[in-house]
Chains A and B, each alone.
Chain A
Amino acid sequence: MEPAVIARDLTKVYPKARAGPPALSKVNLSIPAGQVYGLIGRNGAGKTTFVRIAATQLMPTGGSITVLGRDAVADASEVRRRIACVPQESRPLYFLDVDQLVYLYLRLRGMDRSEARRRTDSVLEELGLSAVRKKLVNQLSGGMRRRAMVAMVLASDAEVVYLDEPTTGLDPLARREVWGAIRRASQEHRTVLLTTHYLDEADALSARLALLEGGEVRLEGTPSDLRARIRHPYRVTVEGVLGRSELQSYGEVSDIASGFLVFARESSARDLAIFALGKGARVSMGPVSLEDIFLQVVGRSIEEEASEGAES
């Protein structure tokens, strides 16, 4: 199947930031159709810039991008018929109720009355919003509002759906509610491009991932590919009697509150665990998380802002 989105040497320099580094620098990505594709990175890494270009909201400075085989710059109107987007920090029109929000969005997209009604009823039922369908959106919790926004685009006939940080600022329960909606889209074999800086979210939802840093793609693949491709795919925590110098030969050692965290290759991780257990230390071992991968590749936590040059 042809990829849903193909970016080749995609570059963006914001007009007001010409002196700084580009927001996107020769990004090459091929996003498969019919899956959830996660775009992860710190704030300012270039995720939103990529989404906005792919969603035809922003002009690139260089390179090319095609969506469903159409050029997103030259053939934007054709692309727009087949995409939908929940922009970052978007909010619903506060004077609408949940039912109106979804139904009128579908009508704006050109759907006829009966089809819009059928899809609205269906999506509200499936996303657990039926009970609040007549409530004004400004009376809903943040999680419900975001869920209503996601419901809008999922109810549409868009083949590619862009969700730009759909769960930022939500509590864990509300995040899980939105995750359910995204999983539903992937079950319908739609392409969902999801940006997030919650690595657990990307891990839980994405079939493939790209890690953006400084406007460049630093890693790309399935979550298990990413784990396999980094230097130290295992993490071992060691608490107790051992000192740093005794651990350094096994891998990269970091201090943690209760002892040490060692990133190591599989064989070294196993040897270290046996050695540490033999010395009476408390040991836990497992594959690295996306958070660990991010730390290893970027050298900083995803929570730190990437402020250089990039507008978003």
Chain B
Amino acid sequence: MNRPRHRLRTILTLAYLNGIIPIQTQPLYLVNVVASPFSFLFFIAIASQGRLLGYGVAGGMLLTVLSIGTSLQTDMSHYKQDLKLQDLLVASPVEAPVYVAGLALSELMYSLPAMALFIVLLYLYTSVTVLGAVTIALVLLLVWGFASALGFTLATYFQDVRETFAISPLISIGLTVLPPVYYPISYLPGWVHPIAYLSPTTYAADLLHGAVGLGGPDLTGGAIDWAVLIAFTLGLLVLASLKARWREP
């Protein structure tokens, strides 16, 4: 058996099964994904009279990709606890990383229309270079990676889907509200900065702000941002592979 090809087939099947088919059945899912980041963007643009529009777009992209982790966590908990889908797939050739990758890719499908809109806004209202576009893509890829790993790890520990409803908002606050996603970190009081830097999204936002031409980090600061973001993503992926419960203890 050709293992890599087999794995890729399984990932794409999961993406089709959990991404394309539900969207075809109920296109309103897409509106739901677009709603939150664009609401924030709208308020920020209005309140700042357009001055923070660039931050709003960068923050909206970040929030859209982070929400993949939350959706993944909810879907996985539902599939595991209510439908017993995880047990069904454990007793099959499907491997845990392939399952996570497939579902993470399926969640990405939902965010594609929102991302397309943000790309149009970036093009219209900011000055993104080719290097900036590459930076944005890489940062969002890393954020997608850690959000998915976090979502999977948490989902395997929950005994009931309702627990995810209790935990997800707290995680969202820690990842999107406190860190300076929609505004420059200089807007936060000095004593809050160390707390904000505990969140990996602060580093991601810093890089995104630089990429869309809103100042951003200097060379050293940028290197630190990349290092922290990569380390955090790798750390969460390792944690997911070690601690997540594919087979129950």
Contact = CB atoms under 8 A, between A and B. Distances in A.
Interface stretch (A77-85, A171-179, A234-242, A294-302): A77-85
Interface stretch (A54-62, A195-203, A206-214, A262-270): A54-62
Most chain B beta-carbon neighbours within 10 Å: one of A83, A93, A96, A108: A108
B93 A87 contact: no
A15 interface: yes
Contacts of A96: 17, 21
A67 B175 CA distance: 44
Interface stretch (B44-52, B59-67, B83-91, B186-194): B83-91
Nearest to B98: A108
Contact of B91 (A80, A100, A107): A80
Bin chain A's interface residue count.
20 to 34
Nearest to B99: A108
B92 to A, nearest CB: 5
B92 A93 contact: no
B95 interface: yes
A50 interface: no
Majority SS at the chain A contact face: loop
B248 interface: yes
B248 A57 contact: yes
Contact of B93 (A55, A86, A100, A110): A110
B23 to A, nearest CB: 10
A107 B87 contact: no
Contacts of B14: 108
Contact of B87 (A59, A81, A90, A104): A90
Contacts of B94: 80, 108-109
Interface in B208-249: 247-249
B161 to A, nearest CB: 13
B113 to A, nearest CB: 19
